Amino acid sequence: MVETTEAQPSIGRLVVIGIGLIGGSLALALRAAGACREVIGVARRQKTCEQAVALGIVDRAVTGLGEVLPELESGDVIFVAVPTLAVEQVFADLRDKLPAGVTVTDGASVKGSVIAAAEKVWGRVPEFLVPGHPIAGSEKSGVTAARDDLYIAHRIIVTPVEDTDAGHLQRVVQMWQATGAEVLNMPVREHDEVLAATSHLPHVIAFGLVDTLAHDAENENIFRYAAGGFRDFTRIASSDPVMWRDIMLANRDAILKSIDLYSANLDSLRAAIATGDSDRLMGVFTRAKAARDHFTKMLAKKAYTEPMQAQEVTFIAQPGESVSGELRVPGDKSMSHRSIMLGSLAEGVTEIEGFLQGEDALATLQAFRDMGVVIEGPVDGRVTVHGVGLHGLQAPPGPLYVGNSGTAMRLFAGLLAGQAFDVTLTGDESLSKRPMNRVADPLREMGAEIETGPEGRPPLMIKGGARLHGIDYKLPMASAQVKSCVLLAGLYADGETSSTEPAPTRDHTERMLTGFGYEVQRDGARATLCGGGRLAGGRIDVPADISSATFFMVAAAIAPGSDLLLEHVGVNPTRDGAINILRLMGADIELLNRREVGGEPVADIRVRHAPLKGIRIPEEQVPLAIDEFPALFVAAACAEGETVLTGAEELRVKESDRIRAMADGLEVLGVDAEPTPDGIVIRGAGEGPAFGGGTVDSLGDHRIAMAFAVASLRARDTIRILHCANVATSFPNFAELANRAGLKLQEV
Ligand code: S3P
């Protein structure tokens, strides 16, 4: 015989009043978990009692509550699982007969009516009553529907009131946790409003729709032709009618509010169909689709608007050999953000191809949807933006969340400073640490009212209705984000706005504005535009991102035997620092099939392995390769001799402090790397393995994570890279492409 260790019961006896799906499933789950001493069922009908015992749901069952109450003692729990409007009668049966220390909780879908019932019966909410509501269920009902896994990974909302005793509350929380559920606390009123919108309204609609179709005399056979859409939409109309009648009556006011809101929306959809208003229909459908897709991801726990840190991804990279083949890396991140921004502010339709479907660019897209812009897609990198014009944005319903992206936050700051409405910009944990005064300062100079969080960090609170005037701004640092922010605010400013940069930085904003028909004068380091013009929508072909391509360029450069072709890469001269630096180190890089696409230079890049040598990196190349240094440091670690980087203090304020993050990781892998305030000195290995193995921390920085993955090609042992979820911000299919090219990379 096998010895089993008994789980420690978290409660004494459980009495379930009403042994249906909800009550029966709790009984089964607690029995399975060994979380209570005994389960006693109470049901109105003798047959239900017999079934509950026969199905192993309860230890015993009775038809009268009065029979069991005298047996109960402190530590026992009564779970009331009857239809909402029957709760009051159960409370009345309990009054004056409940032994001290027994906890009473319930599972009704409306909490206000439970509180009202308690007040009616006891004259107050008794301290032993813990109102609760499991957000789990099914259209099935009755004792035979009970399942022991119904609550696993589901939410239970408890709505304790002021008089609820902490000990009783804790007992109920532990009871639910023992079923595998997550327990949340919520005020009664909020619970009832949220549930009215998310559960009660859908039931009204489903019951109402099926009833409408069932009574349509002209369509007697209608159900014969009903298929998936009908089935998916109306499943809940076969739920228990008594239960749902009770819920409607018990939560009347909140449900009426939800029905009215929905009716108004339905009327406006009707009007759009009647008048053939295709834009309005697309607006509603695309927003709804985005929201539903978002919800689907939330259910799968991978929503892009949720903090990325919520999920953990680790890369495990085995030593590899070489890389080869032909690859197209995803679309350029900088251009993807800008294409949505300018497309939204343009008049007419903008068709985008090659859009990066990474989390950051998707967050930008969602932000414009929240400001009323109709955006179709993305589907395979294709997006259609129905521009609203420079003054057509609407106030968003809440703060705009821009994820991990400094570019989005800083460019948004510029274009939102000139709007008529207030708006708040927030981001994830990494973005929340990054400096924003670099944009807040010039915007304030232009007349914007803008507040930052402590020490100039996010969130940014931008006041609407400010009157902006042009400025002649000299950038204190070489930053395309700051330059772009000032120019975008300039679209809304009186007069001329100029921005002069200390060194050339990426010029996608200037090029794209020109492409949208907005005049930008470029005179050396200075770019100037005049406010009050118009943008005209058009076509944008976003090339593959050279920043993403760099990981593969370095991979091919360092791994003997490699020969790789990277297709359709943007090679704008303000972005080609990595190519220049790798060539100076001796890399064999060829630019083939050079062409211009939509105002941006594009080429296919062929890289073959060649021995690399250490160099002193020319400072003028730094802004042109600003995002590529994590990968370039890996190349330097494989080169013969010393590589010295200076003038790169900006790396310290990227998604992480990239000098520190890389120096720490390189040290773990046995590389001789010495950080300096504005750069790093790396003494490379030359031939043979350049890295040992070990565990490095990417600090949630996508580019640090990918750089160390590439290092595995020249590693002696396995490299584990922690906190890699943010790779999805810029390169969602990195692991897949890396493995296709020849890396041995696993995501766990
Ligand atoms: C970007 C500019 C750069 C770069 C960032 C994207 C842009 O930042 O690091 O990834 O799209 O304008 P800075 O302008 O702050 O250097």
CA torsion, points 513, 514, 517, 518, in degrees to nearest 10? 60
Please give the Cα distance from 440 to 214 (Å, whole number): 60
CA of 157 to the centre of ligand 1 (A): 43
CA of 627 to the centre of ligand 1 (A): 8
End-to-end CA distance of the chain: 38
DSSP letters spanning 35-88? -EEEEEEE-SSHHHHHHHHHTTS-SEEES-HHHHGGG--TT-EEEE-S-GGGHH
Please give the Cα distance from 572 to 562 (Å, whole number): 25
| Band of pLDDT at residue 2, cut at 50, 70 and 90 | very low
* pLDDT score for 708: 98
* pLDDT score for 6: 42
Closest ligand 1 atom number to CA of residue 338? 11
Pairing of strands 679-685, 60-62: unpaired
Residue type, 97: K
Contact 89, 65 (CB under 8 A): no
Is the CATH code 3.40.50.11540 the one for domain 13-186? no
* pLDDT score for 294: 67
Pairing of strands 11-17, 36-42: parallel
Ligand 1 lined by 479 (C-beta under 6 Å): yes
CA of 715 to the centre of ligand 1 (A): 31
Residue 740 in marked binding region: no
- Residue of 146, 174, 130, 196 lying closest to 21 (CA atoms): 146
Beta carbons within 8 Å of 502's beta carbon, 6+ residues apart: 474, 475, 476, 477, 478, 525
| Mean pLDDT of all residues in 713-721 | 98
Superfamily of domain 340-538: Enolpyruvate transferase domain (3.65.10.10)
Q: What does the pLDDT look like over 683-702, one tens digit per residue?
A: 999 999 999 999 999 999 99
CA of 350 to the centre of ligand 1 (A): 24
For residue 241, what are the β-bridge partners?
Answer: none
Specify the CATH number of the domain 315-319+543-747.
3.65.10.10
Ligand 1 lined by 627 (C-beta under 6 Å): yes
| Secondary structure class of 373 (helix, strand, coil) | coil
* pLDDT score for 221: 67
Ligand 1 lined by 626 (C-beta under 6 Å): yes
Looking at per-residue pLDDT, the higher value among 463 and 300 belongs to 463
Chain-wide mean pLDDT for the chain? 93
Residue 658 in marked binding region: yes
Nearest residue (CA) to ligand 1, atom 5 = 407
- Give percent of the chain with pLDDT exceeding 90: 84
Please give the Cα distance from 708 to 34 (Å, whole number): 47
Give the count of beta carbons closer than 10 Å to the beta carbon of residue 748. 9
Residue 703 in marked binding region: yes
- Residue of 351, 350, 421 lying closest to 389 (CA atoms): 350
Give the count of beta carbons closer than 10 Å to the beta carbon of residue 211. 11
pLDDT score of 298 more than 70: no
Nearest residue (CA) to ligand 1, atom 13 = 479
Ligand 1 lined by 407 (C-beta under 6 Å): yes
* pLDDT score for 370: 85
CA of 574 to the centre of ligand 1 (A): 11
pLDDT score of 1 more than 50: no
CA of 356 to the centre of ligand 1 (A): 16
Please give the Cα distance from 744 to 276 (Å, whole number): 54
Burial 34-44 (b: 16+ CB within 10 A, else e): ebbeebbbbbe
* pLDDT score for 437: 98
Give the count of beta carbons closer than 10 Å to the beta carbon of residue 615. 18
pLDDT score of 82 more than 70: yes
Looking at per-residue pLDDT, the higher value among 212 and 163 belongs to 163
In the numeric block, the tokens 């109306």 are attached to: 234
| Secondary structure class of 293 (helix, strand, coil) | helix
Give the count of beta carbons closer than 10 Å to the beta carbon of residue 466. 20
* pLDDT score for 296: 63
Looking at per-residue pLDDT, the higher value among 681 and 222 belongs to 681
Residue 434 in marked binding region: yes
CA–CA–CA angle 569, 328, 722 (5° rounding)? 100
**CB under 8 Å, gap of 24 or more: what pairs does 286-293 form?**
286/369, 286/374, 286/375, 286/376, 287/369, 290/366, 290/369
For the sheet with 521-523, list strands across it.
472-474, 496-500, 526-530, 521-523
* Distance (Å) of CA 89 to CA 13, 28, 114, 546: 22, 25, 11, 70
pLDDT score of 300 more than 50: no
Residue 627 in marked binding region: yes
- CATH 3.65.10.10 in the chain: give the residue spans: 315-319+543-747, 340-538
Contact 338, 346 (CB under 8 A): no
Of 333, 334, 703, best ligand 1 pocket probe by most atoms within 8 Å of the beta carbon: 334
In the numeric block, the tokens 């607690």 are attached to: 30
Nearest residue (CA) to ligand 1, atom 10 = 627
| Mean pLDDT of all residues in 223-232 | 74
Ligand 1 lined by 650 (C-beta under 6 Å): yes
Give catalytic residues, as residue numbers: 627
Residue 730 in marked binding region: no
Contact 580, 545 (CB under 8 A): no
CA–CA–CA angle 706, 483, 401 (5° rounding)? 60
Give the count of beta carbons closer than 10 Å to the beta carbon of residue 31. 18
pLDDT score of 224 more than 70: no
Q: What does the pLDDT look like over 470-514, one tens digit per residue?
A: 999 999 999 999 999 999 999 999 999 999 999 999 999 999 999
| Mean pLDDT of all residues in 358-366 | 91
Ligand 1 lined by 484 (C-beta under 6 Å): yes
**CB under 8 Å, gap of 24 or more: what pairs does 587-591 form?**
587/553, 587/557, 587/612, 587/635, 588/557, 589/553, 589/557
| Secondary structure class of 602 (helix, strand, coil) | strand
Tokens standing for 511? 């090029």
Nearest residue (CA) to ligand 1, atom 9 = 627
Of 436, 479, 650, best ligand 1 pocket probe by most atoms within 8 Å of the beta carbon: 479
Alpha helices, DSSP H, located in 311-393: 333-345, 359-370
| Secondary structure class of 329 (helix, strand, coil) | coil
* pLDDT score for 114: 97
Where residue 400 falls (left for φ over 0; alpha for ψ -120 to 50; beta otherwise) is beta
Closest ligand 1 atom number to CA of residue 623? 16
CA of 653 to the centre of ligand 1 (A): 11
Contact 369, 273 (CB under 8 A): no
Closest ligand 1 atom number to CA of residue 547? 10
Beta carbons within 8 Å of 565's beta carbon, 6+ residues apart: 325, 326, 327, 592, 604, 605, 606
| Band of pLDDT at residue 295, cut at 50, 70 and 90 | low
* pLDDT score for 268: 92
Please give the Cα distance from 406 to 400 (Å, whole number): 13
CA of 340 to the centre of ligand 1 (A): 17
Residue 430 in marked binding region: no
* pLDDT score for 120: 97
C-alpha 193: how far from its chain's center?
25
* pLDDT score for 305: 44
Q: What does the pLDDT look like over 542-561, one tens digit per residue?
A: 999 999 999 999 999 999 99
Indicate the range of 5-19, 238-252, 300-314, 343-357 predicted with least confidence.
300-314
The fold for domain 193-276 equals: 6-phosphogluconate dehydrogenase C-terminal fold (1.10.3660)
Closest ligand 1 atom number to CA of residue 333? 11
Nearest residue (CA) to ligand 1, atom 15 = 479
Alpha helices, DSSP H, located in 215-330: 222-225, 228-234, 241-250, 252-275, 278-299
Ligand 1 lined by 506 (C-beta under 6 Å): yes
Looking at per-residue pLDDT, the higher value among 728 and 398 belongs to 728
Burial 289-323 (b: 16+ CB within 10 A, else e): ebeeebeeeeeeeebbbbbbeeeebbbbbebbebb
CA of 445 to the centre of ligand 1 (A): 22
pLDDT score of 308 more than 50: no
Ligand 1 lined by 334 (C-beta under 6 Å): yes
Nearest residue (CA) to ligand 1, atom 11 = 334
Give the count of beta carbons closer than 10 Å to the beta carbon of residue 519. 10
DSSP letters spanning 106-139? E--S-SHHHHHHHHHHHSS--TTEE-EEEE---S
- CATH 3.40.50.720 in the chain: give the residue spans: 13-186
Of 340, 356, 407, 488, best ligand 1 pocket probe by most atoms within 8 Å of the beta carbon: 407
- CATH 1.10.3660.10 in the chain: give the residue spans: 193-276
* pLDDT score for 153: 86
* pLDDT score for 574: 97
pLDDT score of 233 more than 90: no
Tokens standing for 560? 């003997």
C-alpha 234: how far from its chain's center?
29
Give the count of beta carbons closer than 10 Å to the beta carbon of residue 451. 12
Ligand 1 lined by 481 (C-beta under 6 Å): yes
Q: E strand or H helix at 155, and its extent?
A: strand 155-158
- Residue of 334, 329, 412 lying closest to 366 (CA atoms): 412
Ligand 1 lined by 480 (C-beta under 6 Å): yes
| Count, residues in the chain | 748
CA of 667 to the centre of ligand 1 (A): 27
Please give the Cα distance from 142 to 626 (Å, whole number): 64
Closest ligand 1 atom number to CA of residue 334? 11
Residue type, 569: V
Residue 334 in marked binding region: yes
